[in-house]
Each structure stands twice: as C-alpha cells, then as structure tokens.
Amino acid sequence: MFSSLNPRTKLIALFSFLAVLLVLHSFYASVGQEHLAIEIPPPVEPSTPTCTPQEVDLRKNVTSPGEDLDAKYGPTKQLVGAPTAKASDNLRKDRRYVTSGIKGGFTNQYINLIHIIYLGMQSDRTPIIPPFAPDDHIPHEAGIVQFGDLFNLTTLRKQVRTPLVEWSDVKILPNQDTPWEDIEKGRQLETIGCWSARPQHEHIPWTSGYLVRYLGMDTSYTRVPNSARRWPTEKIDIHVTFGALSALVNSQTYGNQQSSLMSSSPILQAALEPNTQLACFDLLYYATSSDVGYEWQSDWTPAWKFVGQYARFTSSIVRLTMGYVKHAFDIQRELPPFIAVHIRRGDFKDHCEPGYAPHACLAPLSAYIRRAEEVRQELHTRGILVGPTDVFVTSDEEDPAFWNEVKAQGWKFIDHSEELTVQKFNKWYPPIIDIVGQSLAIGFVGTDRSTVSMVSKRRVEEWNGGVSRMVKWGRPGADD
C-alpha cells in the first residue's frame, strides 16, 4: 500500500512520523520528571480535613433532626405488627433477619447476643435477639431473662443506628414462669432450616435445647461451608468469620454452598435448607472478625467497639443493683466512688500451668489487695478519692474461709443467699446483679482470662473513665 504512494507523499509521511516521535519523546521525558518531583514528600501543613462532595455522598445520612430512631429501628417498623403465633407471619417481605442460639453462662450468652447484632449490621439484616436462656450449668428452672429487661434497647438502637428486635416482639412466647415441662403445650411448632457453625469433625450442631423449645422453633441444621471458617483448611478450628457469614447469608452462591444437611429437626424430622429470609445459626459465640480467636480479649474487638459499648444497662436493673450494693456498704445515702474486685475461681483451678496443684495456682487474695491499692493510688493522682474499704467484691468462691478473709479486709460483698436473690427473682440474678454492680465502679480489679472481668474492665474504663488491673494466675506467684 505504501509503495503505491508517490515519493513526495512518502517523504511527508516520514517527516510526520519523526515529528510525532519527537513530541512523544519530550512528553514522556517531562512526565518522567514530574513523576520524580512528586516523589518528594510535600511539606506537611496543618490543615483541617475537608470532605469532597463525593465523600459526603458515600456516608449514609441515617438521621434527620427529630427522627425517632427507636421507632425506625424497633419492632413497629421492622416487623409486620404485634407478636404472632408463628414467626414467619410477622416477618416483613421487604426485610431480612438474622438470629442465633445461645451457649454457656451469662457473659458467654451476652457476647453471643452482641455478635448477632454485629452480624446484623454487617449483613444489613435485622437482628432478632433471643433471651438469656438456661444452658450448661444454668438449670431449667432459672427460666429466661429478656435482653431488653437488662439492656436499654432505645439507647442501643440510637447509638448503633441499626434495627434491633427481640424474639418476644416477633412471636407469642410462653409466659416467663411457665414450667419447662409445659413449654410446648398448646403451641404450634414452626420448622426452620438454620446453619451450624460447628467445624467438620463435630457431628451434631450446638443445640440450644431450652431456647429452641421456648421459641417453638423445630430446627434442622446445615453446616456452614469451610470458606466461612477462620482457617478454611484447618479441620478442627472452632472460629468462623463475620465477613464470610455475612456473604453466606446474603449470597446464594457463596462458597458454592456445597454443604449438606447435618441434622434434621428433632421433633418433626424436617430436613430444610437454611432459611434465606431469617438466617439463623446454632451459635455465633465463636465468630471473629480477623484471624485472631476470642477477639474480646483484645482492646480492639469490633463487636465491643461498634455494639457492646453501647449496650447500657436499663435504669431498672441499675436501680435494683444500687439497692443491693448500698445494702452491702450498709449506707442509705449515695454510694461513694468504689473499686470493684472480681475474683474468678471456680473451674480456673483446673487450668493451672502444668505441674502446679489446683489450689496453689489461683491468685491469693493478697494479689487482689495489692492491685486494688494500685488502682486506688492511681485514682488518687487523678483527684478521685476512694476509701481503703470502699471495695465491692464478687466471686464464685464458696469457701467460707475465703469470705472471712474478705470481711477481715473490710471489703464489701452481697450475700445473695441471705438476700434471697434467687427466691425473689431467679438463678440468673445473682451473677447479673454482681456484673451490673461492677459496672458502677470507678476502679476495677479483675481476674486475667475471665470473660466477666474482661467485659467489666471495659465498662469501668469506657463508661466511667475508670482505672483497672487484671490479676494473673496459673502458677504460684504468677501476679508478682
């Protein structure tokens, strides 16, 4: 084609080509220099950060002045209406939901419930919070305690800006005093398919026996795919991750969903696929946001940062607890600023470092006394004066000799058997009152590796601006 052109045109074409090369060369040369110049860091100027219009648009403007967030995120907007006999009749077709079973004592259940809310935030699903229900060492006659009776849902919805309903908002549940044997009487069972977060080597799901019967949900389980696990190739790892669970409940294809049925429902033998509108899990306690297990031991745990810290106690449980603590301090007036000491013993004696006798490995009272004094001194330097005996002790220790030692120290404690706390309320209340009491302190001394201590330490530090220490144990002199 080129050869068909006359010589003059060929010459013009050649010069044009050379000219283009020259321009391109100088262009790249200058870009190269600019590139070098950019690599020199610009001088740091103190300036207030500004938002470009796009950045503003990226943020959800969830409130307008005067908007009632409690109504927006509460049952009236999140559910069809008043509680119904079957949950499925009260779930809105334009909303999706997430919930889970429970396990363990009060604090483990609390962490699990906070995890449901956190997964609800991540997956844009309305969390349905179960009540605290008997499990493990909590006997059936303890009955249930509604989350909303202990935690202020109004402030939680406002602060977390996320929908939040309880099971008691969703469906008609047995009266709180119904004996366990009668819990299923006169009720229509509902079947549902849920996910089990248990790892491959476990053959049965975690069963919240009491809770699922109280809720009237006859549940079949399908194991979550390995890709939802913290370490997908590790067969026996117990943790699953929030991000993967969120993808799992919102995407039909996540992890190829190659899981098969783990167990059919115990009563009606239903074999159902996991429900997509109401995503449910056997347990979310072991969910984590990173490759760190048991994140609550770290200061940065997102579940605490984004949810837990805003779950404040209701005024009625605080008022009740204040009465108990005042009685322990033997005063009628306002409580003075005090230090709470949580001494966890119980089964910790079975977790000594190898070679140490069970009782020798627990920290002695003297270790708690020393730490409490440190906390008192530190508070003093901040101008907060705490009397040496203004110390409120809680412990699961039952040995009277231990309590005599505490008494000799002039420290205060609630005698729940004398107060008839169980008889007046139920078996949940002694630990609940102890925990709420800890949250009222300005100083805190806890027991290392106790989840109760971990959570109370945060409440004292972040709610009250307090000071804390954790006492180590595991071998004699561990805290020295």
Residues lying near ligand NAG in the complex (CB under 6 A) are found at: 56, 59, 61, 64, 152, 154-155, 314-315
Residue 269 CA neighbour count, 13 Å, CB half: 0
Q: Residue 278 Cβ, how far from ligand NAG at the closest point, in Å?
A: 27
What's the rounded Cα separation, in Å, for the pair 286 and 67? Answer: 36
Exposure pattern of 325-340 as b/e (b: 16+ CB <10 Å)? Answer: beebbeeeeebebbbb
Q: Which is nearer to ligand NAG, 215 or 320 (CB)?
A: 320
Q: Residue 51 Cβ, how far from ligand NAG at the closest point, in Å?
A: 8
Counting beta carbons within 10 angstroms of the beta carbon of residue 356, is it exposed (0 to 12), middle (13 to 18) or buried (19 or more)? middle
Q: Which is nearer to ligand NAG, 54 or 258 (CB)?
A: 54
* Cα dihedral across residues 245, 249, 251, 256: positive or negative: positive
Confirm if 443 and 339 have CB atoms less than 8 A apart: yes
Q: Which is nearer to ligand NAG, 119 or 156 (CB)?
A: 156
Look up residue 312 and give its two tokens. Answer: 């404040």
Q: Which is nearer to ligand NAG, 38 or 56 (CB)?
A: 56
**Radius of gyration of the CA atoms of the chain, in A:** 30
DSSP H helix total and E strand total for the chain: 20, 13
Q: Residue 315 Cβ, how far from ligand NAG at the closest point, in Å?
A: 4
Q: Residue 165 Cβ, how far from ligand NAG at the closest point, in Å?
A: 16
Q: Which is nearer to ligand NAG, 154 or 290 (CB)?
A: 154
Q: Which is nearer to ligand NAG, 42 or 53 (CB)?
A: 53
Q: Residue 67 Cβ, how far from ligand NAG at the closest point, in Å?
A: 9
Confirm if 95 and 78 have CB atoms less than 8 A apart: yes
Counting beta carbons within 10 angstroms of the beta carbon of residue 403, is it exposed (0 to 12), middle (13 to 18) or buried (19 or more)? middle
